[in-house]
Amino acid sequence: GPDISVTNTKAHLDQLQSIANANGGNRSTGRPGYKASVDWVKAKLDAAGYTTTVQSFSTSSGTSYNLVADLPGGDASSVVMFGAHLDSVSVGPGINDNGSGSAGILETALAYAASGQTPRNHVRFGFWGAEELGLLGSKYYVGQLTTAQRSAIRSYQNFDMIASPNVGYFVYDDNAVGNGVRDDFTAYYDSKGLPWEYIDVQGRSDRAAFRSSGMATGGIFSGAETIKTSAQASKWGGVAGKAFDACYHRACDTNTNLDLVALDRNVDTIGYMVWRYAAKDYGTTTPPT
Ligand code: PHE
Ligand code: CA
Ligand code: ZN
Ligand code: ZN
Ligand code: ZN
């Protein structure tokens, strides 16, 4: 797969930290740091040739926004999607949660557009608002799709926390909907000699609305408030008896609250999946242009 730049990804995270610093220390729904985050990501994607759409919706904390970025080209009836929530909680800047997933899909989107690849499928990235208020942005997005738009989406992959400082490598155990997403993630980690575990993320991830609509879903996750066991510390390093991310939902979730080796591995994982799913043959009749 492609080598996605961890240096560039870290620079995006530093930018999100600066946005939080300039806006009262957070990037949360209804506060100016959230909209500033959307505007900044949008400008990067627009400059790279994406067609971007900002969807606004209301929440109990004020207006929130989804940013949807479509790469022109590919079979419009066969869409592969990748998403991450861009909002933070109100107490901090939300850099691992979920600047990391947002910066990871942003950098991969930029790298894919620059690569000169001709996608077979239509490639779309979603940056969700108000995840921290109950997955509101991703639910809004799926809810406003027409039946035809919904059935065009072949798969949705979610990235929420990918650089936890006391890292674990978890793959969503989304096996009930027939698809290869879960198995492609685990095969990629296997190919790198990286031990992984399944996690049942239940209602804690933005793929829920996609999954309820019958789409193939999956994702990866590096751990939040759960305590790392000694068996997990043996295989992944780090500290047993300590949370995967001790700064989860706290003010200390800053741009120093990151494992940059994990960030590098996981952005390369996103790159592998974006390249693979952009090219995946779903048996559609429209040839790539
Ligand atoms: N959705 C959680 C949050 O943003 C993080 C999480 C992701 C937890 C995946 C479990 C599994 O706070
Ligand atoms: Ca890399
Ligand atoms: Zn969170
Ligand atoms: Zn999150
Ligand atoms: Zn690498």
Tens-place pLDDT, residues 241-268: 999 999 999 999 999 999 999 999 999 9
3-state secondary structure of 142: helix
Q: How many residues does the chain have?
A: 289
Residue 268 near residue 8 (C-beta atoms within 8 A): no
Q: How far is the CA of 203 from the centre of ligand 1 (A)?
A: 9
Residue 175 confidence class, pLDDT cut points 50, 70, 90: confident
Q: How far is the CA of 235 from the centre of ligand 4 (A)?
A: 24
State residue 178's pLDDT score: 58
Given 107, 131, 197, 225, the catalytic residue: 131
Residue 166 confidence class, pLDDT cut points 50, 70, 90: very high
Tens of pLDDT, residue by residue over 81-120, are 999 999 999 999 999 999 999 999 999 999 999 999 999 9
**What is the percent of the chain where pLDDT is above 90?**
94
Average pLDDT of span 127-150: 98
Q: How far is the CA of 88 from the centre of ligand 3 (A)?
A: 7
- Kindly report the protein residue whose alpha carbon is nearest to atom 2 of ligand 1: 204
Please confirm, yes or no, whether 131 is among the known catalytic residues: yes
Closest atom of ligand 1 relative to the 248 alpha carbon: 12
Rounded CA gap, 96 and 103, in Å? Answer: 10
Cβ < 6 A, ligand 1 pocket: 97-98, 131, 160-161, 201, 204-205, 221, 224
Q: Is the pLDDT of residue 202 over 60?
A: yes
251 versus 288: the higher-pLDDT residue is 251
Tens of pLDDT, residue by residue over 27-73, are 999 999 999 999 999 999 999 999 999 999 999 999 999 999 999 99
What are the Cα distances from residue 263, in Å, to 175, 221, 236, 258?
25, 11, 14, 8
194 burial type by CB count under 10 A (0-12 exposed, 13-18 middle, 19+ buried): middle
ipTM of this complex: 0.94
Residue 176 confidence class, pLDDT cut points 50, 70, 90: low
Residue 156 confidence class, pLDDT cut points 50, 70, 90: very high
Q: Is the pLDDT of residue 287 over 60?
A: no
Residues 6+ apart with CB under 8 A from 18: none
Closest atom of ligand 1 relative to the 199 alpha carbon: 11
State residue 283's pLDDT score: 84
Residue 286 confidence class, pLDDT cut points 50, 70, 90: low
Of the candidates 221, 79, 102, 244, the residue with the CA atom closest to the CA atom of residue 148: 79
Mean pLDDT of the chain: 96
Write out the CATH class of domain 6-279. alpha beta
Residues 6+ apart with CB under 8 A from 27: 16, 19, 20, 33, 34, 36, 37, 86, 87, 88, 93, 94, 99
Residue 155 near residue 218 (C-beta atoms within 8 A): yes
H or E element in which residue 149 lies: helix 147-152
**Which ligand has the minimum distance to the alpha carbon of residue 224?**
1
Q: How far is the CA of 162 from the centre of ligand 4 (A)?
A: 10
State residue 41's pLDDT score: 99
> Which of 7-21, 123-137, 178-192 shows the lowest per-residue confidence on average (mean pLDDT)?
178-192
